[in-house]
Amino acid sequence: MLEFFSASTRMVNSRRAMAECLEAALGEGTTDCDLVVIHASMGHDYAALIAEAKALAPSARIVGSSCCGVVGKEGVSESMKDLAIMAVRGAAELAVASVDGIYGHNSYQKSAELAAQLKAANPGVNMIYFLGSGIDIADDRCIAGIESVFGPEVTIFGATSADNMKGIASFQMVDDRVYEHAAYAVGFADPTLDVVTQATHGFVAVGEPMVVTKSEENRILQLDGRPAWSEYTRRLALPETATCGDTIPIGALAEHLRPKLAEEYGNEHILRVVTKRDPDGAMHYATTIPEGTRLWLTVRDEERIFNDMDRMMSQMKERIGAREGSGGRLPRRLPGPGSLPLQPGDEGGTGGSHAVPPGPEWRDPALARHVRLRRVRPPGGQERISQLHHGHLRHLPPALAACRTYTAK
């Protein structure tokens, strides 16, 4: 039986912060568990976090990542000393795997290798939490690599790591090591688990689009026939010498969604962020980017942010109610505007790509926009959008808490 616990803190001392989180989540004197998932902003000492977690939870596998902030009981924070953890008990229903050296060009191969490790560790895995490096990675190829081993029906969700919005380096933790270009996966072997995800970004596309006129996999080489970085910074009214640290706060790109996907997503565009540029002026995109793709600059719309948050939380509440009313299973059609019908076989959790958050404990409206990776099947199941929200957004403890035996502290 899987049990999930979570906590967060702004304590600045890394060892004390980890101790505070584990004790708040699991209780003093009972901090041992089977898995600890760590998300910590860039000011923390990751080695110290790992050491304290191992001392207090000696039986646990430890995974984690850097982030630029946390949404927790303290509210929203983007300080250099934020920490959030998720602790899990239920070793028989868990599996952990990791790979190092994952980049955009080998995202498929490395993710397939990761998935093969996970399946060998526990063949019953039916839901996967994935986290990879947030700089130079092709998210869609990661999903495809995992599905090459587990099949297209496996539920996948997750994140990418982040730094403090500089686009320089992000970090991943696996047991007692810290990496810069690694990925890990946590597999759950429990067919009763369901995941419901919602996402929004509150940005609006503005101006005329830029057209990708030359690309290679997840690298954009040219926009409107000009070197990509040169055209991108020109549109932002920045010098060509600008860095990703200059562009990330103001230069989010919008990619158009097809109507059915836009309805479910609640926005006509999906948001992407450039987290790396090459010396030749190429920009690294979050997914494979075909030539001819149109990209817009964006601006924040405060009213839309709050309206979308209200809409999403209403939908989440309806979905939770529908699950409870159907005896713990998601109905064939999830209620609420923009919801998509499930396909045959989805009701039991193993075939669905929807998830249920942990009931009434999931109260923070800011939560919904931080679920990172989602697979959405529109009617007919012929088309999916695979999305990893880049780690420049605030990073939550992973939204794994979707279990009938969920325990919140």
**How confident is the model over 187-209, as pLDDT tens digits?**
999 988 877 777 778 888 999 99
Predicted pLDDT of residue 199: 76
Question: In angstroms, rounded to a whole number, what is the distance separating the alpha carbons of residues 252 and 275?
Answer: 10
Least confident of 12-16, 109-113, 135-139: 135-139
Domain ranges of the chain: 1-200+302-409, 203-300
pTM of the shown model: 0.75
Predicted pLDDT of residue 73: 80
Q: Which amino acid is at 297?
A: L
Question: In angstroms, rounded to a whole number, what is the distance separating the alpha carbons of residues 271 and 230?
Answer: 21
Q: What is the mean pLDDT of residues 246-270?
A: 86
Predicted pLDDT of residue 321: 77
373-385: pLDDT as tens digits: 333 333 333 333 3
User: Degrees (nearest 5) of the Cα angle 169, 174, 178?
Assistant: 40
Predicted pLDDT of residue 261: 81
Q: What is the mean pLDDT of residues 134-159?
A: 92
Predicted pLDDT of residue 327: 54
CA distances from 396 to 42, 160, 212 (A): 14, 11, 32
Those residues whose C-beta lies under 8 Å from the C-beta of residue 377, and which sit 6 or more positions away, are 340, 342, 343, 353, 383, 384
Question: In angstroms, rounded to a whole number, what is the distance separating the alpha carbons of residues 388 and 372?
Answer: 5
Tell me: pLDDT of 349 over 70. no
